[in-house]
Structure 1
Amino acid sequence: MDVINRYYAAFNAGDINGMLDCLAEDVVHHVNEGQTREGKEKFRAFCEHMNRCYRENLTDIVVFSAEGGTRAAAEFTVNGTYLQTDDGLPEARGQTYKLPGGSFFSLRDGQITRVVTYYNLADWTAQVS
């Protein structure tokens, strides 16, 4: 799935605009342990917040797609550094972390319309505490 590969290449480059180019205007973003956000501007705000608090690079990315091209999934390893304390989470002191993650996607006309991301928050918390 070309659009998923472009999305993750932009993520790893820290290129928020590149990620947004992969999304439909009405994208729905389901955040792990967070609220659902609708639309590109809310997605942008989320990414800007994440880039302030975390530096992450995804490796071992494997993309799966369903017949018909309307749904896809990916699993990956998150390699990160906790840069700035995020609300309600442990204090940031430049800790590094590594954990498995995954995302599910809905697709329409070559664009991502839904992103659902999962990782183990308890694992992350234990690594940075």
Structure 2
Amino acid sequence: MPKAMPTLIKRYIDAYNAGDVDGMLACLSQDIRFTNITGGKVTAEASGSADFRTMAETALRSFSRRHQEITNVITVDAVTLAEISYSATPAQDLPNGWKAGTGVSLSGASLFEVKNGLIARLTDQS
């Protein structure tokens, strides 16, 4: 991970990679706004920590392995933009066409907005 990575975001990524939903939620505000955009289309959204928990737990069951690596980061005030290299192996066939057991890798970016010491908005785009 780049040295300029804010500690809060590093903790979130570490929890994500460990499959630790509680650890991820500890980094998020109660009113977290999460959006995932793939190929220019919104593919997942969550509003609030309960909604995010449901989404994260579903994602954990859908993948036998998943990993995010931050390759570059820019932080200005309360906003961090991170370039991410993502790899995963679906545990089941997914609606987007990914097949169970087939490795997937892609690159993208995540925007983290921090308010009151917690991540209040997270947008993933690939």
Correspondence 1:6-85 to 2 at 5 A? 6-32=11-37, 33-54=42-63, 55-66=65-76, 68=77, 70-85=78-93
1:3 aligns with 2:8: yes
Distance 1:114 1:60, change over 3 A: closer
TM-score w.r.t. the length of structure 1 is 0.82
Cα RMSD, aligned residues only: 1.5
Provide structure 1 residue ranges, at least 5 long, that are not aligned to the other structure: 120-129
TM-score w.r.t. the length of structure 2 is 0.84
Deviation, 1:72, is 0.9
Which range moves more in the overlay, 11-20 or 56-65?
A: 56-65
Asked whether the 8 Å contact 1:4–1:63 carries over to 2, the reply is no
Deviation, 1:91, is 5.8
Which range moves more in the overlay, 104-113 or 31-40?
A: 31-40
Q: What is the aligned-residue identity percentage?
A: 28
Which of 79, 85, 93 is the matching residue for 2:100? 93
Aligned residues between the structures: 116
Provide structure 2 residue ranges, at least 5 long, that are not aligned to the other structure: 1-5
Runs of 4 or more consecutive aligned structure 1 residues displaced over 4 Å after TM superposition? none
Deviation, 1:64, is 1.9
Report SS of the residue matched to 1:41.
helix
Q: Which has the higher helix share?
A: 1
